[in-house]
Amino acid sequence: MAIEAPADPAGSSTPTRTLEDVARSVADRPKPTRVVSAKTTVRERLVEIWRARELLVYLVRTEIRVKYKNSFLGLVWSMISPAMTLAVYTIVFGTFLKNGIPNFVIFLFAGLLLWNFFQTAVLTATGVIVNNAGLVKKVSFPREILALAAIGSAGVFLFFQAIVMVIFMLGLQIVPAWTLLWLLAVALIPTVVFAAGLGILLAAVNVYMRDTQHLVTVLVGAAWFWACPIVYSFQSVAQRLRTFHVEWVYFLNPLTPIVMTFQRVLYNRMGPVKLTTSTPGHPAYSQILPSWPATTYVWADAAVLGGSLLLFYVAMIVFGRLAGNFAEEL
């Protein structure tokens, strides 16, 4: 996430504050906590990040502006891109490689919503320190804010993609589980914490090992995506794993219960569903989503939240120990 300050509008009498100005104003506040020190505790650095929240908001806003600078459609691209991706997957798996899932576009989009947020956040956060080497060398501020800003900008894109989801649901007349809408927040919170912890950890490691960014692009952009029940149903995998009594292995992927929670609320098809395609010797009905009560999803997401908080804590410790030599490495 390479950050540059937006240009001043023509004829403006008041100069626009630059990114360095905001960072310096945060650094010049009374009794600042020294962040880039192995002796600084996680609690002290979290307090310093909270004090620098103005800089965090500024970074998120600047990232959005820079990404769509000189673009005619601007933020509309954040809605067009997922719509095109959705169209491609729908054509491939709904027409050529038919999986038979009715209203597959909603089933797919329910998982893609969360996945796009996670992928964008982690990939952007991984390279954010290296991409902003000039700022890191010049100004003293909590470096973790750069990674957190990547999470924040990904959240903005998630909002606009959710609008596309609503449009699709209205067009196909799909009704979500209104009484379970609160589950979306239950699933989103651990996703944000998990992405933040992983992003902060990888951002620090990438300064010393630049291959990290390329490795993460391959693992997150390709392998991890197919390990989530997004283009296929969880039940199709669970049936095979259940034969060997290793169904629990699939839940080692922390995104699995989170994606399934979004599908439960937005796709909202419980019990056996009649498939749109059937061939002799194959069942005409299939269980797309497991018949779990809402409490099961809550406990599953709570387990992910617990692991994500632990990851975030470890990431803050590692980042604090590595941050002291960022300037020399960059």
Model pLDDT for residues 270-280, shown as the tens digit of each residue: 766 666 665 55
- Report the candidate in 127, 125, 111, 129 with the shortest Cα–Cα distance to residue 312: 125
**DSSP state letters, 234-250:** HHHHHHHHHHTT-GGGG
Please say whether the dihedral angle defined by the alpha carbons of residues 221, 106, 156 and 83, taken in this order, is positive or negative: positive
Longest Cα–Cα distance of the chain, Å, equals: 75
Please report the pLDDT score of residue 18 as a whole number: 65
Residues found in the chain: 330
- For residue 116, the surrounding DSSP H or E stretch is helix 104-126
* Per-residue pLDDT at 73 exceeds 70: no
- Report the candidate in 288, 177, 300, 166 with the shortest Cα–Cα distance to residue 237: 288
Please report the pLDDT score of residue 28 as a whole number: 63
**DSSP state letters, 182-203:** HHHHHHHHHHHHHHHHHHHHHH
Mean of per-residue pLDDT scores for the chain: 81
Tokens of 224: 């991890």
Q: What are phi and psi of 141, to 5 degrees?
A: -160, 165
* Per-residue pLDDT at 142 exceeds 50: yes
Residue 9 falls inside a structural domain: no
| Cα distance between residue 57 and residue 51, in whole Å | 12
- Report the candidate in 132, 150, 114, 320 with the shortest Cα–Cα distance to residue 225: 114
Q: The whole model's pTM is what?
A: 0.81
Residue 237 falls inside a structural domain: yes
pLDDT tens readout for residues 81-104 = 777 777 777 777 767 766 667 778
| Cα distance between residue 106 and residue 171, in whole Å | 11
Question: What domain range is 232 assigned to?
Answer: 19-23+38-329
Please report the pLDDT score of residue 310 as a whole number: 97
Please report the pLDDT score of residue 276 as a whole number: 61
Residue 308 falls inside a structural domain: yes
∠ CA 189-234-309 to the nearest 5 degrees?
A: 25
Q: What are phi and psi of 44, to 5 degrees?
A: -65, -40
Q: When comparing pLDDT for 65 and 18, which is higher?
A: 65
Distance, C-alpha 109 to centroid of its chain: 15
Residue 292 falls inside a structural domain: yes
Residue 8 falls inside a structural domain: no
pLDDT tens readout for residues 308-320 = 999 999 999 999 8
Tokens of 234: 């969880």
pLDDT tens readout for residues 19-48 = 666 666 655 655 444 444 446 788 888 888
* Per-residue pLDDT at 105 exceeds 70: yes
Q: Considering its fold, how many domains does the chain have in total?
A: 1
Please report the pLDDT score of residue 223 as a whole number: 86
Query: Helix, strand or coil for residue 285?
Result: strand
Please report the pLDDT score of residue 188 as a whole number: 95
Give Cβ neighbours of residue 217 (< 8 Å, ≥ 6 apart): 123
Tokens of 227: 């390990």
Please report the pLDDT score of residue 12 as a whole number: 45
pLDDT tens readout for residues 189-241 = 999 999 999 999 999 999 998 888 889 988 987 789 888 988 888 887 887 88
**DSSP state letters, 210-278:** THHHHHHHHIIIIIHHHTSTTSS-HHHHHHHHHHTT-GGGGGGSTHHHHHHHHHHHHT---SEEE-S--
Label residue 208 exposed, middle or buried (CB < 10 Å: 0-12, 13-18, 19+): exposed
| Cα distance between residue 157 and residue 64, in whole Å | 9
Residue 191 falls inside a structural domain: yes
Residue 227 falls inside a structural domain: yes
Residue 94 falls inside a structural domain: yes
Distance, C-alpha 139 to centroid of its chain: 28
- Report the candidate in 284, 285, 287, 174 with the shortest Cα–Cα distance to residue 236: 287
Please say whether the dihedral angle defined by the alpha carbons of residues 125, 186, 167 and 159, taken in this order, is positive or negative: negative
